[in-house]
Copies of this chain bind each other. A is one copy, B any other.
Amino acid sequence: MEFHISLIGRKDLSGEIYRQLRRAIVDGRLRPTDLLPPSRELARRLGVSRTTVTVAYDRLAGEGFVSSHVGAGTFVSERVPRVSGLGKQHRSGGILTPRDIWETVPLAAPFARPARFDFRSGLPDASCFPHDAWRRLLEREFRSEALGGGVYADPAGHPGLRQAISRHIAISRGVETDPDSVTITNGSQQAIDIIGRILLNPGDCVAVEDPGYPPPRRLFTTIGARVAGVPVDEQGLVVEALPRRARLIYVTPSHQYPLGVSMSLPRRIELLAWAEEHDAAIIEDDYDSEFRFGGRPIEPLQTMDTSGRVIYVGSFSKTLLPTLRLGFMVTPPSLVTAAHKAKQVTDWHTSMAIQAPLARFIDSGGFARHIRKVGGIYRDRHERIVQILARDFRAYLELIPSAVGLHVAAFARNASADQVDAVVQRASNKGVEVQRLSYYEVDTPPRPGLVLGYGAIETSQVEEGLRLLLASFKE
């Protein structure tokens, strides 16, 4: 016997003997026609009953790994040798390698870094989330009817939720749609994935804002698209810099991520005209425009679009919680069926366990109340940050005007990217997490600067956090 059977700390002794022997046979330590120890002997050696061993032997025999010959004992089967060649590579590695592209994609880890003063952008305040109300909604809605019984649901999503969303965005954003054009997705990221699936062929060019939100760019790259960064100025995406070959343009017109500017009306008109002329599609990601602290909202591209080129994408990650994974998209009629098919082959549909509660939350007015409540909190933080930056950071930062959403951005004054990096590092050492604008670079290094999110930081922490940030500049 070349191999060791260990039963220390094991419970299912017979199963353990079976598994360890089988593994020895499969990886070649026990070879065809090798004789297993007599069951009586092995039982004695292991200090178990003989039945424990014979049950294991019987199971191996039943599966063809061994055969018993009366009087001669139990042998490893002759048929098994073909496995032995497999045993060279140890399973702890594995021989498969992912496509090269995955080497270039970082695993984003916002989930791994808690911070004392958390100015990271793109995160809402979880402490504001109405957990109690939602527990009641779940209690009420987690029933066979809302879950759709035992059958797979409509890939487009829960009918009541699609209706609630179409009403909500008509009122809050002037988006013109009907429930049929709404597809529920696992957050906006999946909406973007589905759009890529239905529109993009390998090698197609996708234009994204530069600096811009990284996850869609990473997604497009991994599905075989070529991604081109397009500059952003104070009016938003610089339309005249779009590469002629762009088939799809990903933009955040309400509140550019990360600079925070709103795309001007002339620029919107120009973008729609460009798409028309170059036969391109536009993804309008309206990820956090529910929070508005001044100014008048400009109409979404979706509403101005008369040729059906704009796909409007929304998310509940900023208004509720990112971990719910709830978003949606509004597709032009020509793409609706393909969107549903693509959602179906991707993952059938979004979990019904959370769709019915969300529908009820919106319909009951709870969602609108929640937005108003947290909007007031975010407004307060926004004003404090803007005020303190204007008062204390004039030598270091030039605030980019913005009156929407969950973050502001600022260019550094007279500082190189390296110097900004050093400031961010010093701030981090003090427990202050802020993001560098350079993190959002696509093709061209942006002007050095910072992004300050206020979704995650408590209002009472803003002042102290910025004081520490200022100290990091002064050091």
**Footprint of B on A, CB under 8 Å?**
12, 15, 19, 22, 26-27, 59, 62-65, 79-80, 82-83, 85-99, 102, 105-108, 110-112, 123-127, 129, 131, 134-135, 138-139, 142-144, 147-155, 171, 174, 176, 185-187, 189-190, 193, 197-202, 215, 218-219, 222-224, 264-266, 269-270, 272-273, 276, 279, 281, 296, 298-299, 303-309, 321-326, 332-335, 337-338, 340-342, 344-354, 455-456
Q: Give Cα distance in the complex from A270 to B269, angstroms.
A: 62
In contact, A153 and B309 (Cβ under 8 angstroms): no
Extra 5 A-B pairs, beta carbons < 8 Å, given A86-B273, A96-B335, A138-B142 = A131-B144, A193-B347, A218-B345, A223-B223, A324-B352
Q: Which of A92, A174, A308 has the most CB of B within 10 A?
A: A308
In contact, B151 and A63 (Cβ under 8 angstroms): no
Residues of chain B within 8 A of A149, CB atoms compared = 126, 323
Give chain B nearest CB distance to A289 CB in angstroms: 15
Q: Which of A93, A150, A197, A326 has the most CB of B within 10 A?
A: A150
Q: Give Cα distance in the complex from A432 to B33, angstroms.
A: 53
In contact, B323 and A352 (Cβ under 8 angstroms): yes
In contact, B321 and A147 (Cβ under 8 angstroms): yes
Give chain B nearest CB distance to A273 CB in angstroms: 5
Known A266-B64, A346-B189, A348-B189; contact A323-B153, beta-carbon cutoff 8 A = yes
In contact, B82 and A270 (Cβ under 8 angstroms): yes
In contact, A335 and B94 (Cβ under 8 angstroms): yes
Known A93-B334, A94-B335, A142-B138; contact A107-B202, beta-carbon cutoff 8 A = no
In contact, B85 and A273 (Cβ under 8 angstroms): yes
Q: Give Cα distance in the complex from A266 to B81, angstroms.
A: 11
In contact, B150 and A142 (Cβ under 8 angstroms): no
Q: Give Cα distance in the complex from A64 to B307, angstroms.
A: 21
In contact, B351 and A111 (Cβ under 8 angstroms): no
Q: Give Cα distance in the complex from A307 to B95, angstroms.
A: 6
Give chain B nearest CB distance to A139 CB in angstroms: 5
Known A27-B306, A152-B110, A199-B99; contact A345-B219, beta-carbon cutoff 8 A = yes
Give chain B nearest CB distance to A122 CB in angstroms: 9
Q: Give Cα distance in the complex from A189 to B351, angstroms.
A: 13
In contact, A202 and B202 (Cβ under 8 angstroms): yes
Residues of chain B within 8 A of A186, CB atoms compared = 186, 347-348, 350-351
Residues of chain B within 8 A of A298, CB atoms compared = 63
In contact, A342 and B142 (Cβ under 8 angstroms): no
Task: List 19 A–B pairs whose Cβ atoms lie within 8 Å, in order of A's numbering.
Answer: A15-B174, A82-B269, A85-B276, A94-B309, A98-B335, A99-B338, A102-B198, A102-B341, A107-B341, A111-B153, A123-B151, A131-B142, A131-B144, A147-B323, A187-B347, A202-B202, A202-B224, A215-B345, A326-B351
In contact, B335 and A110 (Cβ under 8 angstroms): no
Residues of chain B within 8 A of A22, CB atoms compared = 299, 303
Select one of B87, B91, B144, B189 contacting A126, CB under 8 A. Answer: B144
Q: Which of A134, A345, A455 has the most CB of B within 10 A?
A: A345
Select one of B93, B143, B266, B348 contacting A308, CB under 8 A. Answer: B93
Q: Give Cα distance in the complex from A126 to B200, angstroms.
A: 38
In contact, A307 and B265 (Cβ under 8 angstroms): no
Residues of chain B within 8 A of A144, CB atoms compared = 126-127, 129, 131
Residues of chain B within 8 A of A190, CB atoms compared = 346-347
Give chain B nearest CB distance to A471 CB in angstroms: 26
In contact, A26 and B304 (Cβ under 8 angstroms): yes
Q: Which of A94, A266, A350, A352 has the most CB of B within 10 A?
A: A94
Select one of B138, B269, B324, B340 contacting A83, CB under 8 A. Answer: B269
Which residue from chain B places its CB closest to the CB of A264 in the assembled complex?
A: B64
Give chain B nearest CB distance to A436 CB in angstroms: 19
In contact, B334 and A95 (Cβ under 8 angstroms): yes
Known A102-B341, A105-B341; contact A348-B322, beta-carbon cutoff 8 A = yes
Select one of B15, B62, B223, B325 contacting A350, CB under 8 A. Answer: B325
In contact, A308 and B95 (Cβ under 8 angstroms): yes
Q: Give Cα distance in the complex from A138 to B332, angstroms.
A: 36
Q: Give Cα distance in the complex from A151 to B321, angstroms.
A: 8
